[in-house]
Structure 1
Amino acid sequence: MISPASIDQVFETARVEEVIGDFVQLKKAGSNFKGLSPFSDERSPSFMVSPVKQIWKDFSTGKGGTAVSFLMEHEHFTYPEAIKYLAKKYNIEIEETEQSNEQKEQANERESLYLVSEFANTYFQKILHKTDQGKSIGLSYFKERSFTEDTIKKFDLGYSLNEWQAFTDEALKQGYNIDYLAKTGLTIVKENKRFDRFKGRVMFPIKSMSGRVLGFGGRILIADKKAAKYVNSPESDIYHKSKVLYGIYHAKQSIAKEDNCYLVEGYTDVIQFHQTGIKNVVSSSGTALTSEQIRLINRLTKNITVLFDGDAAGMRASLRGIDLILEQGMNVKVCSFPEGEDPDSFAKQNTLEELTAYLESHAKDFIQFKASVLFEDSKNDPIKKAETVRDIVNSISKIPDRIKKEIYIQECARIMDISEDVLFSTLAQINKKEFQEENKQYQKEQKAFEVIKHQQPVEKVDVQYVLERKIIEVLLLYGNKTEDFEDLVLKENDKGELILEPVIHQAKVFEKVFLDLQDDEMEFTNAQFKILYYTIIDRLNQDTDFELKTFINSVDTDMSNEITTILMEDERYTLNDWNRMNIFPKEKHHSVAQLVSETILSLRCYLIDQKVKEFQQETLQNKIDTNRNILEEVKDYSGLKMLLSRKLNRVL
């Protein structure tokens, strides 16, 4: 258990924009930040972060909350794990009691898989640094690769003993369940036998963006024709190799800062580059590049530079991933190393300045690279040259941006010495089916729109819903604030006429709202708002130091989503970047007291209108002479509304 004092310190210190900025590239949008949703595949930003309110909202999925809820949604942390992550990020010491074996067993399956992986990571490091076998074999190998002690510790590199059950026996001894050891792939269970998957290998832990251990890569160090050189953890509930990039945890901040990501093939390529001083580098860990991996980078930058070995096989392998990157609307450059060199060896032999200079001078635009590689094989063969041109145009067709497409067509025409008309014709042929499908979809949408436009009535605004929502917003933002409120009290003058006389009194916003609604016996009609209203009032009554982010974290997910939707709705327009089009929406400027009075008065006027309509309906249904009492009540309500309108106008 984490102590309440530690949790409070974490909440006070953590900044939502800093926490989310580690996972999503955020750009300034007025007083807020915006970015691409990390929960959906999109190309236009619908994700917003408010530093003032310390909350975030994803309009594409409806999710929202605070820094803690973001980590729980994005990284699948439990509440305590999110608190620990933030404590580590902000160097906060937290007080907690150690988990017993019974508590470990009671943890749910996903948490248990993480616990097992974290234990394995610590165990392999201990073996590397504290045992004779680890030092003589594992540590010696890393030193041969020129990895420093700091680098080895930074990447949590380890070693698995060359014994059949060394890790499994130790894990069971420490109280970890064999089922979870098997599900993570750390232990292979066959009938009555069980043995270590990574026996006799140096270990590379594969981490998520937040630094959680998801799986491992292991390299064998002895010559064994039957054993694979590299072995990775199998797929599990926490490890999906198509959605993970090796090194992303250490590279994410540098990628966002440099606005570029270097993509390499192996673990040691990443580590060697990082040690040399280039930290914005990740690896697909020996697997074919996937769309999910590209989208992971896309959250941090639009620019990828693919690095590969100088041999022909390496070149052609990188060509396969280029089209996938282009489909995501990203900018691609490609850089090859001299023949016989790979990113690891080249970085080891050069200083940071030399490596940086080489990357800058040799990184080519994808079209130049593709043309140079393919054209070399086809320059004396017209048929092969035609295939090369079609291959390049096919890559260009993947680009979503039509302006970029045209520029690349022009560049291809120049490099390949062929007319632009021919290339545009080829592009049209390649995209013909896609264009037809897009056109069909467009016509279908237009037809549906016409049906809706002509057949469906315009939906009326639910005034009471809007006003109840506004009351919730006011309570969340200003509930604990003390304000001077002007109340206009009805008094009779010398002539016997009713007049409104101003009276100033001081009160907290939540007290003013609660008493006004109670005086008028007004009830919320929206069930969720009603629950939320009484929850907020109750919390404000009990907690003099009411904190919005603490409150959001204390309610359930549905209520948290509703709160962030209410609070962020007015700022949604900033996602559209109106300023770029010379459209400048006016920001609302209200005093808190004015906002409270205006909202409650508007609700009173609306409810009076509803009451008068009820009287009218009752009179029509009775179909008898109008009841004198009803007429009197209508007259009284109408007079009250007139007075309230005057009061409302005065506030406005």
Structure 2
Amino acid sequence: MISQNTISQVFETARVEEVIGDFVQLKRAGSNFKGLSPFSDERTPSFMVSPSKQIWKDFSSGKGGNAVTFLMEHEHFTYPEAIRYLAKKYNIEIEETEQTDEEKAKIDARESLYLVSEYANSYFQKILHSTDQGKAIGLSYFKERGFTDEIIKKFQLGYSLDQWQAFTDDALGKGYKLEFLEKTGLTIVKEDKRFDRFKGRVMFPIHSMSGRVLGFGGRILTNDKKAAKYLNSPESDIYHKSKVLYGLYFAKQTIAKENNCYLVEGYTDVIQFYQTGVKNVVSSSGTALTPEQIRLINRLTANITVLFDGDAAGLRASLRGIDLILEQGMNVKVCTFPDGEDPDSFAKSNSLAELQDYLDANAKDFIQFKASILVEEANNDPIKKAETIRDIVNSISKIPDAIKQEVYIQECAQIMDISENVLFSTLAQISKKDFQEANKNYKKEQRAFDVVRNSGETKQKIDVQFELERKIIEILMLYGNREEVFEDLILKEDDISGDLLLEPVKQEAKVFEKIYLDLQEDEMQFSNEGFKTLYYSLIDQLHQKEDFSTKDFINQLGQDLASTVTSILMEDEKYNLHDWHRNNIIPKVKDDTVSQLVSQTILSLRCYLIDRKVAEYKNQTLKPDLDSTTIIEDVKDYLGLKMLLSRKLGKVVGGYNVK
């Protein structure tokens, strides 16, 4: 178990903007940072990071928290895993305390899959470097590819012995369960037999964005025609091929820095490029490119350069991947290599400067590339040329940005020697067809929704007490220790007329003291258990600490409460996402009227509770055989109190919808 001292040091050192910046491209937005949500598919930023508060909030999914909760949400780390990751990132030595049996039992099946994969990774590397077979076969292969010892260790390359059960027997001997060896796909179990999936293959571990081993790719080195040249781990709870890019863990910082990502096809393409010095490169590992993979890149950059082999047989089929990239609103270029060359061989035979110069000179805009490929196929056939033009316009229709669409239409008109009007007309036809299809699907979904709605589902009402209690927590978090002058209105009898008048009385107090005393005076209780826990914890800390810190307070909370607090604190930051100030829309700043905000919130809560009490009394009067005289008098008293509160608020308070 990790010591509390280490945990405190991690929280003290870790910077939320640096941690999240490894996974999401962040841009400055005032005193904060913003970016695309890593938890949903979006093109407009709704993800906010506050360096001053050391918290983040994703307005599209509702998630939020600190650096640790981000890792837990994004990488599915357990709490200890997140602490260990941050300790490693910031070079903090981890102090361990003895783990209890109960704590050991909490390691779930998912974590076991990670542990098995990490062990396999270490095992395959050890076999590669420390056994005769590993060095003679596996290491020799990597050396022949031109990989240095440094790059082999960097990418954690390994070798699986050409024996049926070598890895499985070793893992079982070390205490790893066959159940998890089978679930990761490392071991194949058939009836009473079991054998290694990657027998006799060189191994390429596949990492998550944070560096955890998710699965493996293995290349066979013999000429066995019955066996697949490359073999990947099967889908598991931790490995989803469509959501992973090979090399992204090593490339993510350079991708963000260079604002471009090179996309290749194979493992060795990535490694050879990286070794040559082009480090912003990833691979889809032989699988068809997916929207999830594209969105991984989109978090870091809006620019992709797709690299194709010079003699790629499936080049035309690969064009579909370009359309997927365009649909995500990204900028795409394409670069091919000379006949007989691929990214691996070309990088191996050229220096960094030569490779970079070639990429810069030969990376074509997707329209130029697609036109050159399709026009060659058309071979002066008018019908095929017309189909080619429609194919290109269809790609342009995928682009969500209207300005980019127009620029590409103009470019296509020049390349294909056709009028812009015809192309715009074709684009409109395709867009109309797409719109009609989308509208048809929408209406179908809407009809299904109407069925559900009409089956008795009622519109959700605003929970007034929830919102007011939430506001109290927000005020305590932001201004709890602030000294403010509060003006209260006290009922006094006029000496001459005898009428009751409201006389203003000012007093200076800390915000948390004012709130605590007002709630105590009316014996008001929080109805939401989460807010109730936060309230008493906040009051306790504000009483004890002059230097109360929201960051320290959040760090000591559990994940659920930390997420609740983050949502409250970051609520106003969404204004910055849309640059309202640039449009002369200035949100009201609460700091200017804190005392007024406190008074109005407490008085509003009192009014709501009065309405609820009156509603209870009214329901009682409906009961038969009940003398309602006393109840009516109580209702009059409460309504009189509400009128008084309205005068204090300086406005007429309408009735709340309570039952």
Classify the TM-score, shorter chain.
Answer: 0.7 to 0.9
2:254 corresponds to: 254
2:523 corresponds to: 521
2:174 corresponds to: 174
2-side partners of 1:484 and 1:581: how far apart? 33
Tell me which moved more, 354-363 or 306-315. 306-315
The alpha-carbon distance between structure 1 residues 313 and 504, as it changes in their structure 2 partners (threshold 3 A), is same
Give the letter for the 2:129 counterpart. Answer: H
1:571 corresponds to: 573
SS of the residue corresponding to residue 304 of structure 1 reads strand
2:75 corresponds to: 75
Tell me which moved more, 287-296 or 424-433. 424-433
The alpha-carbon distance between structure 1 residues 56 and 257, as it changes in their structure 2 partners (threshold 3 A), is same
Alignment of 1:394-405 (within 5 A): 394-405=394-405
Contact 2:186 / 2:198 at 8 angstroms: preserved in 1?
yes
Contact 1:184 / 1:233 at 8 angstroms: preserved in 2?
yes
Tell me which moved more, 467-476 or 410-419. 467-476
1-side partners of 2:396 and 2:634: how far apart? 79
Give the letter for the 1:534 counterpart. Answer: Y
Note the C-alpha offset of 1:285. 0.5
Give the letter for the 1:229 counterpart. Answer: K
Contact 1:34 / 1:49 at 8 angstroms: preserved in 2?
yes
The alpha-carbon distance between structure 1 residues 106 and 518, as it changes in their structure 2 partners (threshold 3 A), is closer
The alpha-carbon distance between structure 1 residues 151 and 611, as it changes in their structure 2 partners (threshold 3 A), is same
Tell me which moved more, 590-599 or 563-572. 590-599
Contact 1:306 / 1:318 at 8 angstroms: preserved in 2?
no
Contact 2:204 / 2:218 at 8 angstroms: preserved in 1?
yes
SS of the residue corresponding to residue 40 of structure 2 reads coil
Note the C-alpha offset of 1:123. 1.1
Cα displacement string for residues 87-126 of structure 1 (whole angstroms, at most 9, x for unaligned residues): 1111111122588999877631111100000001111112
2-side partners of 1:625 and 1:513: how far apart? 32
1-side partners of 2:375 and 2:645: how far apart? 85
Tell me which moved more, 625-634 or 236-245. 625-634
2:293 corresponds to: 293
1:590 corresponds to: 592
Cα displacement string for residues 304-347 of structure 1 (whole angstroms, at most 9, x for unaligned residues): 10001111425334323111111212111000111111111111
Note the C-alpha offset of 1:52. 2.1
SS of the residue corresponding to residue 411 of structure 1 reads helix
Alignment of 1:79-478 (within 5 A): 79-96=79-96, 107-313=107-313, 315-438=315-438, 464-478=465-479
The alpha-carbon distance between structure 1 residues 199 and 547, as it changes in their structure 2 partners (threshold 3 A), is farther
Cα displacement string for residues 263-309 of structure 1 (whole angstroms, at most 9, x for unaligned residues): 00011111111122211110000111111111111121111100011
2-side partners of 1:633 and 1:326: how far apart? 63
Contact 1:104 / 1:112 at 8 angstroms: preserved in 2?
no
CA RMSD after TM alignment:
3.8
Note the C-alpha offset of 1:175. 0.5
The alpha-carbon distance between structure 1 residues 201 and 498, as it changes in their structure 2 partners (threshold 3 A), is closer
1:19 corresponds to: 19
Alignment of 1:545-584 (within 5 A): 548-549=550-551, 551-552=553-554, 555=557, 557-584=559-586
SS of the residue corresponding to residue 333 of structure 1 reads strand
- When normalised by structure 1's length, the TM-score is 0.87
Give the letter for the 1:302 counterpart. Answer: A
Give the letter for the 1:383 counterpart. Answer: I
1:43 corresponds to: 43
SS of the residue corresponding to residue 227 of structure 2 reads coil
Note the C-alpha offset of 1:367. 0.5
Contact 1:483 / 1:592 at 8 angstroms: preserved in 2?
no
Cα displacement string for residues 155-201 of structure 1 (whole angstroms, at most 9, x for unaligned residues): 11111222222211111111100111111111122222222111222
SS of the residue corresponding to residue 347 of structure 1 reads helix
SS of the residue corresponding to residue 313 of structure 1 reads coil
**Identity fraction in percent:** 71
Give the letter for the 1:589 counterpart. Answer: D
The alpha-carbon distance between structure 1 residues 547 and 499, as it changes in their structure 2 partners (threshold 3 A), is closer
- When normalised by structure 2's length, the TM-score is 0.86
SS of the residue corresponding to residue 591 of structure 2 reads coil
2-side partners of 1:17 and 1:85: how far apart? 15
Give the letter for the 2:478 counterpart. Answer: L
2-side partners of 1:632 and 1:129: how far apart? 86
2-side partners of 1:181 and 1:625: how far apart? 74
Contact 2:489 / 2:648 at 8 angstroms: preserved in 1?
no
The alpha-carbon distance between structure 1 residues 504 and 243, as it changes in their structure 2 partners (threshold 3 A), is closer
2-side partners of 1:121 and 1:348: how far apart? 26
1-side partners of 2:185 and 2:8: how far apart? 38
1:7 has 2:7 as partner? yes
Contact 1:114 / 1:238 at 8 angstroms: preserved in 2?
yes
Note the C-alpha offset of 1:420. 2.3
1:649 corresponds to: none
Give the letter for the 2:237 counterpart. Answer: D
1-side partners of 2:161 and 2:445: how far apart? 62
Tell me which moved more, 482-491 or 192-201. 482-491
Give the letter for the 2:271 counterpart. Answer: I
2-side partners of 1:639 and 1:382: how far apart? 85
2-side partners of 1:238 and 1:152: how far apart? 24
The alpha-carbon distance between structure 1 residues 428 and 122, as it changes in their structure 2 partners (threshold 3 A), is same
SS of the residue corresponding to residue 194 of structure 1 reads strand
SS of the residue corresponding to residue 77 of structure 2 reads coil
1-side partners of 2:231 and 2:179: how far apart? 21
Contact 1:209 / 1:248 at 8 angstroms: preserved in 2?
yes
Tell me which moved more, 606-615 or 48-57. 606-615
Tell me which moved more, 141-150 or 353-362. 141-150
Tell me which moved more, 274-283 or 32-41. 32-41
Give the letter for the 2:94 counterpart. Answer: I
2-side partners of 1:494 and 1:429: how far apart? 79
Contact 2:247 / 2:281 at 8 angstroms: preserved in 1?
yes
2-side partners of 1:564 and 1:173: how far apart? 46
Cα displacement string for residues 517-574 of structure 1 (whole angstroms, at most 9, x for unaligned residues): 1123222344543344234445656788765455445555544443222222222222
Question: Aligned residue pairs: how many?
Answer: 637
2-side partners of 1:251 and 1:106: how far apart? 34
Note the C-alpha offset of 1:467. 3.1
2-side partners of 1:254 and 1:32: how far apart? 22
SS of the residue corresponding to residue 387 of structure 1 reads helix
Note the C-alpha offset of 1:246. 0.1
Contact 2:468 / 2:601 at 8 angstroms: preserved in 1?
yes
1:650 corresponds to: none
Tell me which moved more, 462-471 or 30-39. 462-471
Tell me which moved more, 423-432 or 24-33. 423-432
2-side partners of 1:260 and 1:205: how far apart? 24
SS of the residue corresponding to residue 199 of structure 1 reads coil
Contact 1:605 / 1:645 at 8 angstroms: preserved in 2?
no
Note the C-alpha offset of 1:393. 1.8
Note the C-alpha offset of 1:427. 2.8
Give the letter for the 1:522 counterpart. Answer: M
Give the letter for the 1:576 counterpart. Answer: H
SS of the residue corresponding to residue 590 of structure 1 reads helix
Cα displacement string for residues 20-69 of structure 1 (whole angstroms, at most 9, x for unaligned residues): 22112222223222222222222222222222222222222222222211
2:654 corresponds to: none
The alpha-carbon distance between structure 1 residues 629 and 51, as it changes in their structure 2 partners (threshold 3 A), is closer
1-side partners of 2:547 and 2:194: how far apart? 55
